[in-house]
Homo-oligomer: A and B are copies of this chain.
Amino acid sequence: MSATDIPRQGETTSPSREGTGPPDVEGCVARLRASLPEGAVITDRQKLRTYECDGLSSHRSVPAVVVLPEDAEQVATTVATCSEHGVPFVARGSGTGLSAGALPRSDGVLVVTSRMRRILEVDIDNERAVVEPGVINLDVTKAAAPYGYYFAPDPSSQQVCSVGGNVAENSGGAHCLKYGFTTNHVLSMTVVTPDGATVELGGAARDAPGYDLLGAFVGSEGTLGVVTSITVRLLRQPERVRTLLAGFSSTDEAGEAVSAIIAAGVTPAAIEMMDELSIAAAEQAVRCGYPEGAGAVLIVELDGPEAEVEHTFTEVRRYCTERGAFEVRSAADEAERALIWKGRKSAFAAVGRISPDYIVQDGVIPRTALPEVLRRIAELSARSGVRVANVFHAGDGNLHPLVLFDSSVPGASERAEEVSGAILDLCVEHGGSITGEHGVGADKVRYMGRMFTPQDLDTMQYVRCAFDPAGMCNPGKVFPTPRLCGEVPGPRRGAHPLAEAGLADEF
């Protein structure tokens, strides 16, 4: 791609959906077919329907074109071709996202990375692996396991989700309390920027010079470019893992046990909490045999060197008992551990047994605000008559309230939506966040204004404009009021010479 064949703004190939002309999809497809291997470009309507949504099926849109690149070069070609023809594009991994972050555009290209599944290198000496974006999360661990290593981020979709998708969403998992999110496990990446250029972000060295754009790119939900290779950190498998299940009469008591554990300086690999309604649902679905009559259960998992884990496990048992646990079970082996996790892992699906429909909400609060927020959710629920089951990563305050409703009852889904939104307001009010790990995508753009000031959002949009001035890279996601770059309002505007019409030609 050279600078000369870029269409000028205002021509019929004008790139942006906010632009003055429509995207030249036809020309784009012709060029893609000429440049890519046979079978890489899909335009058959029936086949395209496969890709109309990701894991959040309430948002649907059939893409105009699907491209299945086999390597980084083909990604660069695809993106450059889109750029040249003013066609917006969206990248998709395995399509397991829960915020419609990979929702296609009907006038655009969907770049699907499912053919890019090579693990390019496993470098045990330096504790890292290099993978293509389509590689399945769990396959990284499978490749590292023979050496006694694993890849830490473990979203519950890890058997099917892709590492590229993990990068886009900055995925966490049950163990992110101790191990952090994807951003803590990516050392460097090769990305194709929205104009088709290939750049390296990060590097082998920690604290590299220049700007750390790795962190900005991870979690940017596909709006800054397409990743083509990812160097991830591998961790040594812990010497010992121990898991306990504690039954409490209330979430307040369970919450106090969590605070006691954290205040003692213990960092468990995971602390999960379930409330009465979600326990009942799990019990009905998978007969996990959780303590009878529990108003809340805690699952606490510790891992690390044997000596440390055994010592700390005794302490954690004690904190649970002191805070009112009426039953504490320790998993004696892998089978018992799996049984303890079974109830938690099935919780979302299990709720389907007790309610025809439900919304999986995803918010975050400071851990210490947990009791207060739970009380307020209970009040909301009582007032509205909408049932809410609560499942959470209690250690880091990531709530997954499940808002139950029956869509066959008139007005029920609207009331559920309202309660669901009010829960997010509670999270923001308590200094938390509108999403813990599922992302903003297309689904939560409407809530961004509740959390960020216009100045905060403008600052992010300036960065988006730095990468994607034409607004062609996953447009419509993350930002509630995406604008043409240069049209971001507010106090920054006047001070931004390039944003002031007519000034740029003096540069």
Contacts and interface: CB of A to CB of B under 8 A. Distances in A.
Given A463-B466, A497-B9, A503-B8, A212 B219 contact: yes
A281 interface: no
Contact of A495 (B83, B432, B463): B83
Interface string A422-448: 000001000111111101100010001
A199 B170 CA distance: 23
A121 to B, nearest CB: 12
Nearest to A501: B505
A484 B498 CA distance: 11
Interface stretch (A292-300, A335-343, A361-369, A412-420): A361-369
Contacts of A485: 497-498, 507
Interface string A391-431: 00000110000000000000000000000000000010001
Interface string A276-320: 000000000000000000000000000011111011100000000
A196 B308 CA distance: 50
A207 B219 contact: yes
Contacts of A365: 205
Contacts of A435: 207, 209
Given A126-B366, A193-B459, A448 B6 contact: no
Given A200-B456, A364-B205, A455-B197, A6 B506 contact: no
A352 interface: no
Interface stretch (A35-43, A49-57, A486-494): A486-494
Query: Which among A214, A262, A469 has the greatest number of chain B C-beta atoms within 10 A?
Result: A469
Contacts of A151: none
A463 B206 CA distance: 21
A464 B192 CA distance: 19
A146 interface: no
A203 interface: yes
Given A198-B455, A212-B219, A308-B307, A505 B507 contact: no
A239 to B, nearest CB: 7
B504 A195 contact: no
Contact of A492 (B195, B211, B493): B195
Interface of A is mostly: loop
A448 B210 contact: yes
B456 A199 contact: yes
B215 A216 contact: yes
A181 interface: yes
Contacts of A432: 204-205
Given A219-B207, A312-B305, A498 B478 contact: no
A492 B198 CA distance: 10
A502 B503 contact: no
A58 interface: no
A235 B20 CA distance: 54
A326 interface: no
A490 B197 contact: yes
A460 interface: yes
A470 interface: yes
Contacts of A497: 9, 469-470, 485
Contact of A431 (B176, B203, B366, B464): B203
Q: Report the 8 A-B pairs with minimum CB-CB distance, sorted nearest first.
A: A3-B494, A215-B215, A195-B495, A205-B433, A504-B504, A308-B308, A205-B364, A462-B466
Interface of A: 1-4, 6, 8-10, 20, 83, 125-127, 170, 172, 176, 180-181, 183, 193-201, 203-216, 218-220, 224, 236, 239, 259, 262-263, 265, 304-308, 310-312, 364-368, 396-397, 427, 431-437, 439-440, 444, 448, 451-453, 455-460, 462-467, 469-470, 478, 484-487, 490-507
10 contacts: A9-B497, A181-B206, A183-B207, A196-B495, A197-B495, A203-B451, A205-B431, A216-B216, A462-B466, A503-B504
Given A183-B212, A197-B495, A209-B478, 11 more contacts: A6-B494, A10-B506, A126-B366, A199-B459, A203-B431, A203-B433, A205-B365, A465-B498, A466-B466, A502-B504, A505-B505
